[in-house]
């Protein structure tokens, strides 16, 4: 048991970069092995923790992506509902059923529709 305690003390001294002169070469070699084993075990535990985090991420992403798509469908439906039937037909013809394209199409042509409701000065006469 005394040898185990001396090796543990050598390992602690080795970790702290302290004075190692009180230990035999055998004790130091064994202590270095202990320290290397502890370092390897620590690195292995860290790797396992990183892998567990990576495995947990994909489980969260599909739900988050699904909620984003659902919200986007809702926004696209709301935008289409605000349009006249002719505008809805135009947007659907351009964008199809893709909510992202519907939103970008409505945004792109919104300014032309706002001005198209104003009377054309050349047509007033």
Q: Residues 6 or more apart from 7 whose CB is under 8 A from it?
A: 27, 30, 31, 34
The Cα 6–Cα 11 span in angstroms is 9
Tokens of 104: 């970008």
pLDDT of 125: 47
Q: pLDDT by residue for the chain (125 residues), tens digit each?
A: 566 677 677 677 666 766 666 666 666 677 777 777 877 888 888 999 998 888 777 656 677 788 888 999 999 999 999 999 999 999 999 998 899 999 999 999 888 876 555 555 554 54
Is the separation of the CB atoms in 97 and 120 below 8 Å? Answer: no
Write down the pTM of the prediction: 0.43
């Amino acid at each position: 048991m005394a040898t185990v305690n001396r090796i543990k003390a050598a390992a602690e001294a080795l970790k702290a970069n302290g004075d190692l002169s009180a230990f035999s070469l055998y004790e130091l070699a064994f202590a270095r092995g202990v320290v290397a084993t502890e370092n390897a075990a620590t690195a292995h535990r860290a790797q396992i923790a990183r892998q567990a985090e990576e495995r947990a991420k994909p489980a969260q992403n599909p739900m988050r992506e699904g909620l984003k798509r659902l919200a986007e469908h809702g926004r696209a439906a709301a935008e289409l509902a605000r349009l006249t039937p002719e505008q809805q037909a135009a947007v659907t013809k351009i964008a199809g059923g893709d909510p992202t394209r519907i939103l970008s199409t409505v945004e792109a042509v919104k300014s032309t529709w706002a001005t198209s409701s104003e009377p054309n000065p050349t047509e007033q006469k």
